[in-house]
Amino acid sequence: MPRLLPGLMLTIELSLLGFFIATVIGVPFGILRAYKIPFLVSIIIDFYVFVVRGTPILVQIYAAYFLLPVFGLKISPFWIGIVVLSFNSAGYQIEIARAAILSMDDGQYEGAFALGLGKFHTLFFVILPQAVLRMLPPMANEMSNLIKASSVLSVITVFELHKAANAIISDSFKFLEMLFAQAVLYVAFVVAMTQLSIYLEKRIGISLQVKNLSQR
């Protein structure tokens, strides 16, 4: 376990940082995609989502690893991993955010407009707070997928959990023991993120209920 912990910490760092950057990119683009935007912008976003969802993450890793240096971007395998995880997750988060916005009832918009709110205020003060609740479960699932996808970064020598376990297997030939140890650690990380999502969903839901009651 002491030899696996550095790999686990790197997996956590990769997953959290990649997810955060993907959220910063994916959610705003998802919101844009849910509204009427210029046709060219819409085509670009749709093509990006198509590429992300239509290609394996292993192909995306190799593409980044070999293509970025061609364009003069010589970065470490760690940051290539961050780029790929962010690129991959953002494509899914665009669809998550878009679906959450489009799932809102038209009455929410009509009520906001009847109160004199503009489109900007309606989006940020009426629609988004409720859409965030609908985003949390699929976002938690996306985070789980990202944690598991980080194991593929071992192919470009990123010393995350899977790579650390393989190094121990090479030394000790304890294949089954390392598989079990990896499984336990991955499951523990995924469960922790899922529980955090459930907690946030409840807290945000309670806050919205209190806010609605106070307004009445």
Q: What is the pLDDT of residues 84-122, one digit of tens each?
A: 999 999 999 999 999 999 998 888 888 888 888 888 888
User: What's the pLDDT score for residue 216?
Assistant: 55
Domains of the chain listed by start with CATH number: 5-215 (1.10.3720.10)
User: What's the pLDDT score for residue 79?
Assistant: 94
3 close to 164: Cβ distance less than 8 angstroms = yes
Angstrom distance (rounded) from CA 27 to CA 93: 6
Low-confidence ranges of the chain (pLDDT < 50): none
Note every long-range contact of 193-199, with CB atoms under 8 Å and residues 24 or more positions apart, other chains counting.
193/140, 193/143, 193/144, 193/147, 194/140, 194/144, 196/140, 197/136, 197/137, 197/139, 197/140, 197/143, 198/140
Find where tokens 């971007």 sit: 73
